[in-house]
Amino acid sequence: MAHADTDAAPRSLCPISLALDVVGDKWSLLILRDLMFAGKSHYRELLQSDEGISSNILAERLKRLVEAGLLTKTDDPSHKQKAIYRLTAMGIDLLPAIAQLGIWGRKYQPVTKESAAAAAALEKGGPELLKTMKAELRRQHLGKQAAE
Amino acid sequence: MAHADTDAAPRSLCPISLALDVVGDKWSLLILRDLMFAGKSHYRELLQSDEGISSNILAERLKRLVEAGLLTKTDDPSHKQKAIYRLTAMGIDLLPAIAQLGIWGRKYQPVTKESAAAAAALEKGGPELLKTMKAELRRQHLGKQAAE
DNA sequence: CCGCATCCCTATAGATACTG
DNA sequence: CAGTATCTATAGGGATGCGG
């Protein structure tokens, strides 16, 4: 069983450290990336990321992220089987951090042309573009459920 | 022995994923934080972080970060014993990402007043303040060695 | 002392196979 | 399809050793 305790005692009270206690692992930010940029919302879609996350890890991370308040999990009204994972406002607010990591990655790590283009646009667009993207994410993920 | 391979095959070509391959572990960003915000530069100082990193882990991460090009290691001219770790331009360019994580942490995780103040200043200051801080870091870390 | 390197041992991450 | 069970690999804590 071994339930994942979301609050396993913070390492320190530094905000950066606290943030890393939540998303400072190998996969969480990539899951959020797929929800933000790839428009994914189902377990199966998230399982098919390029990086190849394992099913148990994905399940555990999704649970953690829901418990931490970054995601919501609701039943798909059409297909009873599927669950829909959506970002909360708290999750959407990680967009700037993730975007900055992308900008850095594009600048210093060898990368394909296409992914470079997106990151370049982000860097040039700056805060304006981020605002636009956050507004879009809010519509998609928070849309019909208003608060929370 | 088991030398730390810096290039253990990227998980994907996504810039975000590539960035996380370098600094997406539990400690690297905290080490960079201490170099950026706490003005630390010696092994000893880094060992004394609030989060309590182990000596072997710190040594390994420092080596990794030097090999990855985020840090330089030079001998302290005064004390022959001590080594000095400095940020490279590549390391300094992670400031925005780290700052964004701090802003998020302050906003969504319970935090002390003092650490909140710094993060609040960062959020209000925005890109302007980041520019100032980066310039300062460049003077401190790249100062006398110009290029890299 | 300082900066690590090495061992040992535990905890957690993660791959694979399987189940409702 | 969405997870769970099982097993293995790796990360990491703590103590200690060791050259400079």
How many C-beta neighbours within 10 Å does residue A38 have? 14
CA distance A106 to A88: 27
Q: Would residue A29 count as lying in a domain?
A: yes
The residue of chain A nearest to residue B38, with distances taken between CA atoms, is A14
Q: Would residue B72 count as lying in a domain?
A: yes
Q: Would residue A3 count as lying in a domain?
A: no
Cβ contacts from A onto B, under 8 A: 148
Q: Would residue A7 count as lying in a domain?
A: no
Q: Please state, rounded to an integer, the average pLDDT across all residues of chain B.
A: 85
Q: Note the pLDDT tens digit of each residue in A56-114.
A: 999 999 999 999 999 999 987 777 668 899 999 999 999 999 999 999 998 898 676 76
CB of B5 within 8 A of CB of B67? Answer: no
Residues 6+ apart with CB under 8 A from A34: A40, A45, A46, A49
Q: Would residue B7 count as lying in a domain?
A: no
The residues of the protein lying within 7 Å (CB) of strand C read A 8, 25-27, 52-57, 60; B 1, 42-44, 55-56, 59-60, 62-63, 73, 81-83
pLDDT mean over B106-134: 79
Q: Please state, rounded to an integer, the average pLDDT across all residues of chain A.
A: 85
CB of A11 within 8 A of CB of B50? Answer: yes
- Contact across the interface for B24 and A29, Cβ inside 8 Å: yes
Q: Would residue B147 count as lying in a domain?
A: no
pTM for the full predicted model: 0.88
CA distance B116 to A63: 28
Residues 6+ apart with CB under 8 A from B117: none
Q: Would residue B59 count as lying in a domain?
A: yes
Percent of chain B exceeding pLDDT 90 equals 58
Q: What are phi and psi of A119, to 5 degrees?
A: -65, -40
| Positions in chain D where some atom is under 7 Å from a protein CB | 1-6, 11-16, 20
CA distance B100 to B98: 5
- Contact across the interface for A17 and B50, Cβ inside 8 Å: yes
CA distance A107 to A116: 8
Q: Domain span at residue B91?
A: 15-142
Q: Would residue A148 count as lying in a domain?
A: no
CA nearest neighbour of B20 among A91, A32, A111, A29: A29
Number of domains in chain B: 1
- Here the CATH number for the domain that contains residue B116 is 1.10.10.10
